[in-house]
Amino acid sequence: MHKYIILFFSVLTLLCSCGNDDSAPDGILKKSEMVNVLADVHIVDGGLINISQEPDTLYKYGYPRYLAVFKKYNTDSAEFRRSFKYYSLNPAVFSDIYDRVLKRLQVQTDSLTKLLAIQNKKNHVTPTATGGRVNSPVRPAQATPLRPGMMMNPNQQAIMKFNAKRDSALKQRLKEKNALPKK
């Protein structure tokens, strides 16, 4: 009889360990759900990097974004925190989750990079080594460092000269208008 009890528990243990690796206790997100939520949370974090890092500002702009992520996955911040704590206590599982998060973010980054390359090709924009972009389909590129994502108009120098002439003409007219009449 003792052999049958041991056999029963060993089979039960084997079945539990070989079951769905995506299972989790009640109140804890499944691994696949945790991957999706973490990826979107990190995207929100990245979007908040350009916002002033004041606590009130982060709360005002970040809180609704995080709530939208939690609503998208039918969860809340408390369940997310419990799940994060639960998975972080098992480093092997947590590492696997973050590997999957990184793969998902990399796929999204690659697709955005492809779209940006297509858009730049359509607009005749070539990327520079500094990360800025200089438009130079006809003329050789001048290494003008621009902020990433900023596009240079192909006629930028001509536009700048025109604006300078216009501004000086407006200043001259304003001076003439405000000048006292000569007697």
The string of pLDDT tens digits covering residues 15-65 is 444 444 567 788 899 999 999 999 999 999 888 888 887 878 878 888 899
- Pairwise CA distance, residues 180 & 177, whole Å: 8
**Assigned token pair, 85:** 């704590």
> Is residue 117 included in any domain, yes or no?
yes
> Is residue 1 included in any domain, yes or no?
no
> Is residue 12 included in any domain, yes or no?
no
> Is residue 2 included in any domain, yes or no?
no
- pLDDT tens figures, 154-164: 666 777 777 78
If DSSP codes are grouped into helix, strand and coil, which group holds residue 126?
Answer: strand
- pLDDT tens figures, 131-181: 555 554 444 444 444 555 555 556 667 777 777 888 888 888 877 777 766
Range of the domain at 76: 27-174
3-state per-residue secondary structure call for 26-47: CCCCCHHHHHHHHHHHHHHHHH
> Is residue 15 included in any domain, yes or no?
no
> Is residue 85 included in any domain, yes or no?
yes
Could you say which DSSP state residue 164 is in? Answer: H
> Is residue 101 included in any domain, yes or no?
yes
> Is residue 22 included in any domain, yes or no?
no
Number of domains in the chain: 1
Q: How many CB atoms lie within 10 A of CB 37?
A: 22
Decide: pTM greater than 0.85. no
